[in-house]
Amino acid sequence: MKTLLTITAVIEAGTGVALAIAPSPVVLVLLGSPLEKPAGLVIGRILGAALFSLGTACWLARHDAQGRTAAGLVAAMLLYNIAAVSLLGYARVGLGISGAGLWPGVILHLALAVWCVACLRIARRNVSG
């Protein structure tokens, strides 16, 4: 679980900082269309702050990989990764949106979701056994 939390921390905090500083170019790579309206830029920056916060939480919990806090955080990240896969997949399949980073983003979040499930199963087994 420590490695999952560390890698998640780096990915999410890094993406969060990028979105907070320059949301339009990040969204352009991901979805193939820049944010142009002020409201979109504000929402992009709020998303950046949220992702940075998630990354920070993962970073701080990485040394407590066997604790309930880390398991709760991994469960929350599982939900986030499932949502990311669903929304990015819908953007491509349902809306026809495509950017260079879209499918890599889907694959990354899918892999992280599978990893979260695996870590939670191991943690549950360790608590039960």
- Asked if the model's pLDDT at residue 7 lies above 60, the reply is yes
What pLDDT was estimated at residue 123?
87
CB neighbours (10 Å) of residue 106? 18
What pLDDT was estimated at residue 128?
64
pLDDT in tens, 96-119: 999 999 999 999 999 999 999 999
Domain ranges of the chain: 2-128
What does 47-116 look like in DSSP terms, one character per residue?
Answer: HHHHHHHHHHHHHHHGGGTTSHHHHHHHHHHHHHHHHHHHHHHHHHHTT----TTHHHHHHHHHHHHHHH
pTM value is: 0.92
Mean pLDDT of the chain: 94
What pLDDT was estimated at residue 68?
87
> What are the tokens at 31?
């979805």
- Asked if the model's pLDDT at residue 58 lies above 90, the reply is yes
Which amino acid appears at position 76 of this protein?
Answer: A
Q: For the chain, what's the residue count?
A: 129
Binned at pLDDT 50, 70 and 90, residue 124 comes out as confident
Which amino acid appears at position 111 of this protein?
Answer: A
CB neighbours (10 Å) of residue 2? 14
